[in-house]
Structure 1
Amino acid sequence: MKHARVACFGAIHDAIEVEGQVKLRDGRRVDPDSVVWLPPVMFGTIFALGLNYADHASEISFQAPEEPLVFLKGPNTLVGHRGQTRRPAGVEMMHYECELAVVIGKTAKHIRKAEAYDYIKGYTVANDYAIRDYLENYYRPNLAVKNRDTLTPIGPYLVDKEDVPDPMNLSMRTFVNGELTQDGSTKDMVFDIPYLIEYLSSFMTLQENDVILTGTPKGTVNVKEGDKVVTEIEGVGSLENSIVGDRVFHS
């Protein structure tokens, strides 16, 4: 099943996808073009993986790390499907990152790899933009690179884990203004999903609705104001958003 959170009729609704429509909890069906899409769940801690695809690491002249390179993101970064992401004036390099997002289903610590999938609620698509101009060091990404408002579209749906039988073998693609610019697969992760869950839970408690953004393959290119970016993952969904400039925000 595909779960969503949307705004319509003056309220926020939990919803599911039924026959191409958005079905609200009260039973009403709405055209997907008639709602405002929100992040599909109220996320807790947001973990993000850097350099978790060897081909992307080599693309930017780095080696893949020997242990997971993880940093945290604030909830201010998240926007829903068809949302707007701000590109600050004067930036020279800002690129998308199509990522499989893994949503934790229950509280746990010290999870073994063999049991990791038992603790997953489902999956969604994330586009974790990076502003390279602000980067100090790929092994210590600073706040300004990854924690700016609107920098991480996510959604449209949370897909139940039972509906994604092999999350480690999903095609990933990105289109900029309709042109294919990124084409990869989750099978090329350096650290796979069970490893990441075991690693993170070895030193901290994971909570329901914590989310792990698992990294991006090669093919990241610069995006500019006015671009429409679509990141899609096989069996999980297609996430669309647009790049806007400072003048949209008036601040």
Structure 2
Amino acid sequence: MKLLRYGEPGAEKPGILDADGTIRDLSGLVPDLAGEVLHPEGLARIAEADVSALPRVEGDPRLGPPIAGTGKFICIGLNYADHAAESGMDVPPEPVIFMKATSAICGPNDPIVIPRGSEKTDWEVELAVIIGKKAKYVSEADAMDHVAGYAITNDVSERAFQAERAGQWTKGKSCDNFGQIGPWLVTKDEVADPQKLKMWLTVNGETMQNGSTETMVYGVAHLVHYLSQFMTLHPGDVISTGTPPGVGLGMKPQRYLKPGEVVELGIEGLGQQRQDVVADK
């Protein structure tokens, strides 16, 4: 299934994409795509519904993030060996964990907002793992039982805030509209192997990133297992699993986003995003 949320920010309704690519309204069946709805039993109830009988959503509504109620937005740094190399850093012996504020979350086509004082706003196409079932101390063998599905994220980053000022990475990762998610939550039954997905990103039509989840250092199952040893993962939590090479930081000379530019990105089977770059007011 391809699950989504549509409507104005803060007033999104749950929906599902039918076989023809038409949005169907799920609000008569579930209150939102959050909490227990993302549990295997909740997703099974949606799967049993006659999608063709659900109300059609007319027009071209804004898409919001495909899940609501996210408690944790967990990011994995340097999880592609070639990206670590372009960043001038070693592959870590364990996953590097940092958090992105949930207030950064926005829809897949909402603009990238360059914050005040920024000179180094960068792009990062990433595979997001959406938790559907509570995970605490889970084994790697059982980890995938706790995954609801997958989505695209753009882990937008302000590199000067992230690395050139004192403290941790969080403040360079958490500005408003630095966390586009979507367009859909694609349930895991539609993704044969999350470690074999092509991914790409362009700026103004020029290809910047062209990689594959196949080159991840730590795969999805290991990350869910690993994180669950340190914190309980809850339905709606997002794990953004790292980016392949091609970010602006790694270019010579470095290249960063400017107002008026357009970023497009996609992952095989998960759709694509398009974002206008604007300056914060």
Same fold by TM-score, threshold 0.5 exceeded?
Answer: yes
Partner Cα distance (1:207, 1:144) in 2: 24
Q: Which residue of structure 2 aligns with residue 246 of structure 1?
A: 280
Q: Aligned ranges for residues 200-239 of structure 1 at < 5 Å?
A: 200-221=227-248, 222-239=256-273
For the pair 1:120 / 2:147, whether they are aligned, the reply is: yes
Per-residue Cα deviation, 1:174-198 (whole angstroms, up to 9, x for no partner)? 0112222110000111111111111
Give 1:137 shift.
6.7
SS of the equivalent of 1:242 reads strand
Q: Return 5+ residue gaps in structure 1 as ranges.
A: none
Give secondary structure in 2 for the equivalent of 1:207: coil
Q: What's the CA shift for 1:45?
A: 1.0
Q: Which moved further from structure 2: 16-25 or 150-159? A: 16-25
- Number of equivalenced pairs: 244
Name the structure with the higher strand share.
1
Equivalent residue for 1:20?
Answer: 21
More off after superposition, 163-172 vs 16-25: 16-25
- List structure 1 segments (4+ residues) > 4 angstroms apart after TM superposition: none
Q: Residue 2 of structure 1: CA displacement?
A: 0.2
Is 1:36 aligned with 2:62?
A: yes
- Where do 1:65-144 residues align within 5 Å? 65-136=92-163, 141-144=168-171
Instruction: Name the CA shift for 1:137/1:68 in 2 (closer, same or farther; >3 Å).
Output: farther
Q: Distance in 1 between matches of 2:120 and 2:99?
A: 22
Q: Measure the CA separation in 2 of the matches of 1:209 and 1:182.
A: 27
Q: Percent identity?
A: 39
> Corresponding residue for 1:179?
206
Structure 2 unpaired stretches of 5+: 29-53, 249-255
1:109 partner letter: K
Aligned to 2:79: 52
Range 237-246 or range 10-19, more displaced:
10-19
User: Which letter maps to 1:28?
Assistant: P
CA contact (8 A) 2:24 2:56 kept: yes
CA RMSD after TM alignment: 1.9
Q: TM-score, normalised by structure 1?
A: 0.91
